Structures are given as C-alpha cells and as structure tokens.
Amino acid sequence: MVAVGVGAALGGAAERAARADAPSDTAPPNCLDQSIKDELGRTLRPRGVQKRPFTKDDRIQLVARGGLFAADLFSTSYIYGGAAAYWLTEDLGLEVSFDATPIALDLDGPVADFFGDDRFESPGTGYLALGGLLWSPIHAKMKIGGSIVHSDVMFALGAGRLFHDTVQGITFDAGMAIELFASRFVTVRLDLRDVIAVQEAVAETRLTNNLVASLGLSLWTPAW
C-alpha cells in the first residue's frame, strides 16, 4: 500500500510538470502583427537624445545686438553694438565687446531753467568697451513650434571702460545670457548684464549699477 501511494504521488508530479512545460492554449494573442507594426512605424517617430547642431570649442562667435540701457544715475536709453568670442572649450570662452549708448539726464532741462545754467555739461554718446570670460555650464533643450531647440545658459564676467566724461576709472560687468541654436552656424542670444561704474552727475558721484538687456544674432565660424 505504501509503495502504491508513493508511485501515485510521483506520477501526479510528473504529469503536472509535463502540463507546465506544454504551451498554454489560453495565452493572450499577439496583436502586434506585421500590419500594425508597419502602421506604428509610419505614425511614430523615434525619441531620445538629439545631437546639438554643432559644438562650440575652437570656434569664433560674432554677435550683432541691440537693446535697452537702464542707467542708474542717468536716463534710460537704447544700446547697440557687437561682440566677438573665441571658445577655448565647449564651456569656456573669451569675449571682447564694443557698444554705444546715448547718455543724457532728463532732469537737466528743468534744472537748467531753474538755475539759469546747464548743470549737466556732458550729454552725448558713451562707448562701452569690455573684455571678459564666458562660462557655459548648462545645456538645455526646449520644444518650440513642434521641434526641439537646443540652448546654452551662460555666465559672463569682465572689465573695461565706459568712455564718457561722467565716468571715472574702470568699468566692470557681470551677468548671464541664453543662447538658442537656430541652425548649424546661427544662434539667437539674449543678454542681461550689470555694468558697474563710478559716475558723476549734478554734483553727485557714486558707484552705479546700469542694467543692460540686449537681443542679438550670432554667426559662428567653422571649427579650426
């Protein structure tokens, strides 16, 4: 009796193992046949990491720009000019720039009428010449008009001179910029800088923080 029971148990285990190895009749049907795969291939586009249009290292960047010069001590006015940068690596570049802006004091007219003379004797055009470093540690992508646009976030630090009779000593600048890659050789650049200088107007001399916001178009040379 014991032998019969053991044999029955072994036979049942073998039968269950055979059923487990056999293909199941209740398996879900494969719906992705060739026609559905072809349809999906026509309607879906592959996604993933997209390459940027070009790398910046060993390239020269030429920028033409214009914008707003929000002066601290004088009247807000426009600014225009350009810059040239040489990128040593993908993240670090050297830049020189030259811009021009009208420098005037809106209060000079009423003050001159009140005192009977011109207290602000140096209206005219200021010329801003700077040199400095560009650091681009952040690369980003954004979706604009149904396509992926690459961009770089940059930080700038430099020094030079704001050439005008009201300015004393060296001028410094610091700020940031966003670069949008439009094509292989063209980018759109938005700059926001703080131009720091010692200036004098209407018998007042102090350290000024002049905000510059500009929009520019950049052309890139091929890599050396």
Could you report the per-residue pLDDT of 129-177, keeping only the tens digit for each? 999 999 999 998 888 777 888 999 999 999 999 999 889 999 999 999 9
**pLDDT score at 42:** 57
Torsion of CA 82, 84, 87, 93, to 10 degrees: -70
All residue ranges of the chain with pLDDT < 50 are 1-6, 8-10, 108
Number of neighbours of residue 190 by Cβ within 10 angstroms: 16
pTM higher than 0.85 for the full model?
no
Check if the beta carbon of residue 56 is closer than 8 Å to that of residue 93: yes
Give ∠ CA 137-139-144 in degrees, rounded to 5: 150
53-66, pLDDT tens digit by residue?
788 999 999 999 99
Residue 8 has phi, psi (to 5 degrees) of -65, -40
